[in-house]
Amino acid sequence: MNRIKLLARWSFIRSRQSRFFLAGLHEKILEILSFVVPGLLTIGVGIVIYEFGFKSFWGNHFFIDFWLEIILGLLSIAIGVRLVLESFIPKSRWARIFNIAGWLFLLFLTLYVLPTKAVLVNVDSNRFLFYKLLLYAGILLGFVTEASYSLHRIYSRTVNPGLLFIGSFVLLIFLGAFLLKLPNATNRSLSTLDALFTATSAVCVTGLIVVDTATHFTAFGQVIILLLIQLGGLGFMTFAGLLAYAVAGNASIKTQLAFKDIMSSQQINNIMFFVYQVVFVTLLFEGIGAVFIYFSLDDALFVRQRDKLFFSMFHAVSAFCNAGFSTYTNGLYESVIRFNYTLQMFLAVLIILGGMGFPIVFNLYRYTRIKLSNVYWRVTGNPKRAYFPSLISLNSRLALVVSIILLLIGFMAYLVFEQSATLLQHPTWGGKLVTSFFGSVTPRTAGFNTVDLTQMTLPTIMFYLLLMWIGASPGSTGGGIKTTTAGLAVLNMVAVIRGKERTDFFRSEISHQSVRRAFAIIMSSLLYIGFAVFVISINDSGKGLIAIAFEVFSAFSTVGLSLGITANLTLISKVMLMLTMFVGRVGMLTLLVAFIRQSKQLHYRYPKEEIAF
């Protein structure tokens, strides 16, 4: 009996040891594959860049296809093994969806590397080339997903969110400059400085250009610029973090705190769902905008339908992200679309939506949904009502009020001061009104021009400097000191003049910390703008103070409007403008806070004294 018990106990120990061994082996294989799969995808991305950047994609490249099949064969085996092993690990709903996508991608890879592919699809046919294009898109998406999963581990550590935010823009700028330097991206040679300037302008959604986007870049180069605008408008961290969250199925508190700062959100709860909403709403608005732009254009302007489609997509993304890039040499001032007022109105709406700020858009959507629900219940006789105190937040109210005031002031100023200047080209009152309205929208970080800016009167230029400096609302794709900052400064000034001890708005008291931060932003922005104007005036004094100041304000507020001096600036001035665009996009305070050690909480106070003014 004792012998039987000993044998049973020994068998139990051996089986337990076997389970531990298999579990350890399982983890070890997954750990190895976590390096193998990204490595193979990186090589695959290199092949994609080589074929698109150095070769003609539509040609027959035996050497590229040979090595591509080897890499994809190894990748199929690695992904298949990892998917099998990961199927035993409990996953969230998002992670399960990505697991299914992984199996589909594996099937796609397997079909490509099968020896029978020549029978299934003719190698030289457009059908196979389209199939290969989809495969390349899958490789790029897989690479981004793996990179995002790595970012998930970075988020989980104690890393300054400001450094992550700044670092993502620096990385994207250098990557964009490298891609724009590829031979197939340009029609003629592009210097490294001009590539860096263009990439910085696109990532920082500014729109200042040193080379003509329409003629200097090929369709491939324009697609790169479009992707840089999209990633830069929302922030590369937004897309990467969302994929990391989807793959991992969870987000640590540090990750949520990082995204709270990056997205300018007021709350931390369910922040990843807020990020998902931002991406979804952006793509939705851009898609709808592209459709309206497409139908507002004449088919005779384009040789092919795909050119018209690309124009619509490019300008919808550029408008919503407040970038101001155009595929026409003269922008919207091109003679063939200069008087297309319908197109201008669609772009103006996209610019306003993009510059409003996502927290405000979602706040207004929630307010509208609840009010419409109450109206519906009242009409149908349902006693049910939805009520939330302070449904529209104070931040949204202030941003909306300031935005409306600026739009009205800009509209009236343009209509009055440009009657004998740029508005002379528009004979009808409808054209004058649309041009004036667009002229009040575009300096709010958009950067599109429907008129010759060099012909504007000096009063209009002065109003443009003010509108550019204030910019868009917080949490948006635009730049500037933000509408809420300008509004707080005015409210505080009114409170001081009236002898009030506190600053309030819509029956709510504004915190002292918010007022301090607003004036810090204003002061730091003016100091930096003054320094940038000084540096550029040393090297390009012949350009004139007004033109230089206009250029710096435009770069700092990521607007992209220019009085025509950008391409003719010296090397130092271009570098200064690049730094100005970068500082304006990430924020002066964000930059300073990220690199300056923060003071600890002080448990003492010094005696208070009044300062004479």
- pLDDT of 77 higher than 50: yes
The residue among 114, 133, 155 that closes a domain is 155
339 belongs to a structural domain: no
Three-state SS for 11? helix
User: To which H or E segment does residue 504 belong?
Assistant: strand 504-505
Q: How far apart are CA 538 and CA 521, in angstroms?
A: 26
Q: How far apart are CA 466 and CA 488, in angstroms?
A: 16
244 belongs to a structural domain: no
Which residue, chain included where needed, has tokens 């950008």? 566
Half-sphere exposure of 407 (CA within 13 A, CB side): 19
Which residue, chain included where needed, has tokens 């937040």? 393
**pLDDT above 70 coverage of the chain, percent:** 68
Q: What is the pLDDT of residue 321?
A: 87
The residue among 133, 155, 177 that closes a domain is 155
Residue 86: pLDDT band (50, 70, 90) is: low
Q: Which of 75, 127, 128, 120 is nearest to 102 (CA)?
A: 75
66 belongs to a structural domain: yes
In the DSSP assignment, the letter for residue 190 is: -
Q: What is the pLDDT of residue 390?
A: 60
Which residue, chain included where needed, has tokens 């700020």? 357
Q: How far apart are CA 8 and CA 530, in angstroms?
A: 84
Other CB atoms within 10 Å distance of the CB of residue 292: 17
Average pLDDT over residues 343-360: 86
Average pLDDT over residues 437-443: 91
Amino acid at 464: Y
553 belongs to a structural domain: yes
460 belongs to a structural domain: yes
Q: What is the pLDDT of residue 536?
A: 93
Q: How far apart are CA 234 and CA 493, in angstroms?
A: 33
Are 413 and 465 in contact by the 8 Å Cβ rule? The answer is no
Query: Which tops the pLDDT comparison, 181 or 158?
Result: 181
Half-sphere exposure of 12 (CA within 13 A, CB side): 6
* Neighbouring residues of 52: CB distance < 8 A, sequence distance ≥ 6: 136, 182, 184, 220
Domain residues for 558?
384-595
Q: Count the domains in the chain.
A: 2
585 belongs to a structural domain: yes
206 belongs to a structural domain: no
Radius of gyration of the chain (CA): 28
The residue among 155, 173, 205 that closes a domain is 155
139 belongs to a structural domain: yes
Are 77 and 106 in contact by the 8 Å Cβ rule? The answer is no
User: To which H or E segment does residue 271 belong?
Assistant: helix 271-295
